[in-house]
Amino acid sequence: MFKGTFTALVTPFNQGSFDVARYAQQIGFQVRHKVKGIVAVGTTGESPTLSHQEHHLVIETAVRVGHKAGLQVIAGTGSNSTDEAVDLSRHAQSTGADAVLSVNPYYNKPTQEGLYRHFKAIAQSVTIPVILYNIPGRTNVTMTVATMVRLAHDCPNITTVKDATGNLDLTTEAVAAGMTVLSGDDSLTLPMMAVGAVGVVSVASNIIPGEVRKLVDAALAGNFVMGRRFHQRIFALCKALFVETNPIPIKTAMYLLERDTGEMRLPLCEPSKGNREVIRMALSQMGLL
């Protein structure tokens, strides 16, 4: 069900408040470049610092605007509290979201059994798909393929994982086990698709959705020579967009491109001068500035 390019949207702020109008504009930009869908309130959308009311509003806006334009909308509803993740997932389903994206619980560092029970509780609370999000760099815990398979066996609405482990062995094993895999790392999308991933949840596509889509479409068509050309073209920018903690670089890039205020909420703040220059140079080399 989930294949192609999905943009992990930033959450735009204006003087500290969620900017609904700019968010709609950013969704429109994605539509024009023909991505498959959008992800609202993920890591890139600064989910940890949004209030529940804001979280709801961002998802409601994404569904309303995105569906009208024919996009699939995946709602970020992860939490390290199972009850909170269940509540957020139920709200996302009530708005009409096509799926929820739920990250491994962070900080409390559950066991594999704890991960299984956490995601089973979420999956049983909704009928829409639950996309697992494996990102040990953020959570300090990695879901094993065995746990994914156990969940997929027991929960019909768990079939997909967003893989940001940076481990191609795990990607290969997950694909072999029957999981649908989406890349969670822009710079690894092509190699992950070479071993069976079917798309990406992309940060870079906030600013270069067309380029990311062309890479993914080429790989899906089995044209890895063409895919490699796009990979090489966007690689330096993808690396620059992670020169500091996401979403600091992408919001800085969007500010430089006059597509966002660049505002973030503490504890996130503007990049160092040196890293800002790295981001600016990468944009310039891509011909975006």
Query: Which residues are identified as catalytic?
Result: 133, 162
Q: Which residue type sits at 158?
A: I
Query: How far, in Å, are 27, 135, 240 from residue 68 at the CA level?
Result: 11, 31, 33
Nearest to 129 by CA among 158, 86, 164: 158
Among all chains, which residue has been given the structure tokens 């890039």? 253
**DSSP three-state, residue 207:** coil
What values do phi and psi take at 160, rounded to 5? -130, 145
Helix 224-240, helix 273-285: angle, nearest 10: 150
Instruction: List 103's β-bridge partners, or say none.
Output: 133
CA atoms within 13 A on the CB side of 122: 36
**DSSP three-state, residue 190:** helix
**DSSP three-state, residue 3:** coil
Kindly give, in sequence order, each residue whose CB lies less than 8 Å from that of residue 17, ignoring residues fewer than 6 positions away. Answer: none
